[in-house]
Structures are given as structure tokens and as C-alpha cells.
Amino acid sequence: METDYIQLPPMPSDTPTELVAVVWIYARMEKPEKEQFLDFMRENIKSGTSDGEKEKLMELIEKSKLKPSPYVEEFHSLMQELIGTLIAQACEMSALIYQKYCIEKKSIKEISEIIHVPQNAVELMAQYYENKMK
């Protein structure tokens, strides 16, 4: 019996574990499942797709007699968890930058060094807060 191997792409060492799990599940999917999933993602991400069209697509998938593979279901679950984690991290970073920039009046460079985030990201959020305070 021949063993099948999966090669994951190189990822930064601080990649969230949820993202590594999502990539792992995707790598284990069969080619037709990958193509079906990518088509679904492209259709949902494509601008100009109305919510009604997305709901119709979801209904069609739910009504179809085809049972998604456990990999697809696990991938879907992990994607939901990953998106939730990313939203929580974005909110946390936003609050931290607000505290450091608006309350403590630290410079963008100082904030960047303290929280280990690129200066341009801190600057973007600082500009947002400046515009809101006007």
C-alpha cells in the first residue's frame, strides 16, 4: 500500500492555529471538492452578488441530495472559527491603538514598537480615529 503525503505551504511561525487547521483540511480535500469549494467562495466573495442570490445558492446546496464530505464540513466549521478569531483580534487591536494613541497620546512609531504591528497599519487606524474626533 502506497502512502499519500500532503505538503503544506510555508507559513510564518506566528500563524494562528485556526488558520493552519483550515489549510490542513483544505489540503486533504479531493480535487473535485476543492474546486467546488473555491467556486462557492468566489461566488460569495464576488462583488455585485446580492444577498438573495447567496441565499438561493445556499438553499440549493442544502436541498441537494449530495452529502458534503466530512472535510468540507470541518473546513466550514474551522473557517467560521477563524473569521470569529480574526474579528476578535481586530477589535482588540483597534481598542489597544485607541488607548495608546487617543488616550495616552503615544506616537505611531511608539505604538508600532509596543504592539509589534507595522507602522502603516497603526497609522491607518490613527487616521481613522483622528477623523472621528473632528
Contact 22, 78 (CB under 8 A): yes
Q: Show Cβ contacts of residue 114 under 8 Å, excluding neighbours closer than 6 positions.
A: 100, 106
* pLDDT score of 93 more than 80: yes
Of 116, 125, 78, which Cα lies nearest the Cα of 97?
Answer: 125
Which whole number is the average pLDDT over 10-32?
80
pLDDT of residue 14: 80
CA atoms within 13 A on the CB side of 98: 11
Task: Give Dmax over CA atoms of the chain in angstroms.
Answer: 69
Cell 483550515 found at:
22
Which whole number is the average pLDDT over 99-122?
94
* DSSP secondary structure, 57-118, as one string: HHHHHHHSSPPPPHHHHHHHHHHHHHHHHHHHHHHHHHHHHIIIIIIS---HHHHHHHHT--
**Banded model confidence at residue 112, pLDDT cuts 50, 70, 90:** very high
Select the more confidently predicted residue: 93 or 75: 93
pLDDT in tens, 48-91: 666 676 677 667 666 666 666 677 777 778 888 888 888 998 99
* pLDDT score of 97 more than 90: yes
